[in-house]
């Protein structure tokens, strides 16, 4: 079976190709470039947040706080715009806040040694609570910024291009810089990394801070895309983002990676978009997403050493 492993490993691309062909055949207009790139634009929120999570996962930790920072940051962004702040000042505020949240996560996980699952899940609680406290659950609508990200440069949506640039940059950062390699080493074995003189704490600190910034960027995109900031944003993104980040391990090397996260979130978007335009019942989309992902994971696992699946919760 090992001989065929590479084939199964890349089955996600086969599946995406198959689905695209299927939908192009069934849905008129599905196959034009505008729609294919548009789906990438719609996947931007999930992808960017999944990048943040993937980077933290490369370092062997996890960060669930994004489900709390999403509604909070989107709300602060929307409120700043509605009270007449400068657009770029609002963006800068959000990025700084995301950075600070990342630093707090890092402080509890790295320096106080709270297991990252627990620390960041509690952080998610705290941030969601803060959101309800300062907003009272009200939705704020923002107008006039949709074109800023989702407008077109020629045939290409701006956000698609920006997303691809970000993907390349983060890919280079995690795969081809010293910091990225060290981060991987920490994820593999923090004890050894420490023994050979790596400053584990500071590398992880940067990973959490970078993750926090990426979450805030994703929250920003979500707010602009929905033209509003609502409280359900967090619970809406929690599962897709985690699924994309974890599915990235199925693509390629078996470790979390940036490209894998992009491919996985694109797959989720293709299924949602295709099933939506086919006019299938409402329940079919999540069901198809779940079953296809499960199928993919099972395929990618062909020829693996078969223990039982276990996780370590720190």
Partner 1 sequence: MALVKVRYGAILSVALFILVFALLCIYGRGFFTAENLVRSLLIPASMSAVIACGMTLVMIGGGIDLSMGATAGLGALAGAALGTKVVSSIAAAMFSGMFLGSLNGFFIALMGINPFIVTLTTSFVAKGLQFLVSLQKAQSTALLWSLPMDRIGSSASFQIGTSLFVVIFLYVFIGKTKYGRYVKAIGENSEVAIYSGIPVRFYSWMTYVIGSVLAGLSGVMLTSYEGLVRVGSGDNFLLDAFLLPLLGKAVFGRLSIGGTVFAALFLAMIVNGLYILGLPPSWVNAMKGVLLFGMVVVSQVGRR
Which residue, 33 or 313, has its beta carbon nearer to partner 1?
Answer: 313
Q: Are 11 and 299 in contact (CB under 8 A)?
A: yes
**Position among 54, 55, 123, 182 found at the interface with partner 1 (CB under 8 A):** 123
Which helix (H) or strand (E) segment holds residue 56: the answer is: helix 44-58
Does position 290 bind partner 1 by CB under 8 A?
yes
**Position among 89, 133, 165, 169 found at the interface with partner 1 (CB under 8 A):** 133
Residues from 28 through 87 that contact partner 1 (CB under 8 A): none
120-141 burial: b if 16+ Cβ within 10 Å, else e: bbebbebbbebbeeebeeeebe
Tokens of 55: 């980077």
**Position among 250, 251, 270, 273 found at the interface with partner 1 (CB under 8 A):** 250
CB of 36 to partner 1, least distance (A): 23
Q: What is the DSSP string of 152-212?
A: EETTEEHHHHHHHHHHHHHHHHHHHSHHHHHHHHHHH-HHHHHHTT--HHHHHHHHHHHHH
Does position 283 bind partner 1 by CB under 8 A?
yes
Does position 243 bind partner 1 by CB under 8 A?
yes
Q: How many CB atoms lie within 10 A of CB 266?
A: 20
List the beta bridge partners of residue 31: none
Least Cα distance to 52 among 298, 271, 219 occurs for: 219
Dist CA 198 CA 272 (whole Å): 43
CB of 289 to partner 1, least distance (A): 5
**Position among 101, 124, 159, 226 found at the interface with partner 1 (CB under 8 A):** 124
Does position 279 bind partner 1 by CB under 8 A?
no
The interface region with partner 1, picked from 21-29, 85-93, 208-216, 243-251 by CB under 8 A, is: 243-251
Q: How many residues bind partner 1 (CB under 8 A)?
A: 56
The interface region with partner 1, picked from 27-35, 170-178, 190-198, 241-249 by CB under 8 A, is: 241-249
Crossing angle of helices 233-247 and 258-278, rounded to 10°? 120
Overall size of the chain counted in residues: 314
φ, ψ of residue 140 to 5 degrees: the values are: -110, 135
Does position 1 bind partner 1 by CB under 8 A?
no
Does position 117 bind partner 1 by CB under 8 A?
yes
The interface region with partner 1, picked from 15-23, 82-90, 142-150, 275-283 by CB under 8 A, is: 275-283
Q: How many CB atoms lie within 10 A of CB 250?
A: 22
Which residue, 98 or 157, has its beta carbon nearer to partner 1?
Answer: 98
**Position among 114, 161, 173, 198 found at the interface with partner 1 (CB under 8 A):** 114
* Contacts with partner 1, residue ranges (CB under 8 A): 108, 112-115, 117-119, 121-130, 132-133, 135-137, 235, 239, 242-243, 246-247, 249-250, 281-291, 293-294, 297-298, 301, 304-311, 313
């Amino acid at each position: 079976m090992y001989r065929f492993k590479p084939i199964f490993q890349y089955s996600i691309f086969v599946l995406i190709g198959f689905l695209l062909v299927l939908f192009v055949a069934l849905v008129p207009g599905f196959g034009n470039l505008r729609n294919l790139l548009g789906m990438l634009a719609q996947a931007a929120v999930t992808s960017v947040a999944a990048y943040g999570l993937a980077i933290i996962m490369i370092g062997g930790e996890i960060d669930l706080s994004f489900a709390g920072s999403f509604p909070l940051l989107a709300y602060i962004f929307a409120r700043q715009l509605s009270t007449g702040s400068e657009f770029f000042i609002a963006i800068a505020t959000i990025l700084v806040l995301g950075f600070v949240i990342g630093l707090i996560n890092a402080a509890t996980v790295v320096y106080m040694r709270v297991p990252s699952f627990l620390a960041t899940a509690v952080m998610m609680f705290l941030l969601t609570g803060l959101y309800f406290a300062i907003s009272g659950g009200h939705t704020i609508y923002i107008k006039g910024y949709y074109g800023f990200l989702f407008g077109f440069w020629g045939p290409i949506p701006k956000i698609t291009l920006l997303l691809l640039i970000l993907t390349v940059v983060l890919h280079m950062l995690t795969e081809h810089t010293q910091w990225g390699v060290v981060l991987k080493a920490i994820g593999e074995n923090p004890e050894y990394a420490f023994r050979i003189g790596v400053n584990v704490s500071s590398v992880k600190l940067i990973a959490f801070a970078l993750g926090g910034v990426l979450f805030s960027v994703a929250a920003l995109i979500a707010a602009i895309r929905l033209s509003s900031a609502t409280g359900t944003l967090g619970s809406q993104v929690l599962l897709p983002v985690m699924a994309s980040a974890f599915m990235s391990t199925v693509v390629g090397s078996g470790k979390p990676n940036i490209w894998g996260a992009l491919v996985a979130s694109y797959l989720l978007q293709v299924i949602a978009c295709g099933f939506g335009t086919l006019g299938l019942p409402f329940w079919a989309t999540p069901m198809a997403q779940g079953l296809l992902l499960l199928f993919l994971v099972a395929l990618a696992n062909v020829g693996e050493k078969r223990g039982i699946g276990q996780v370590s919760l720190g």
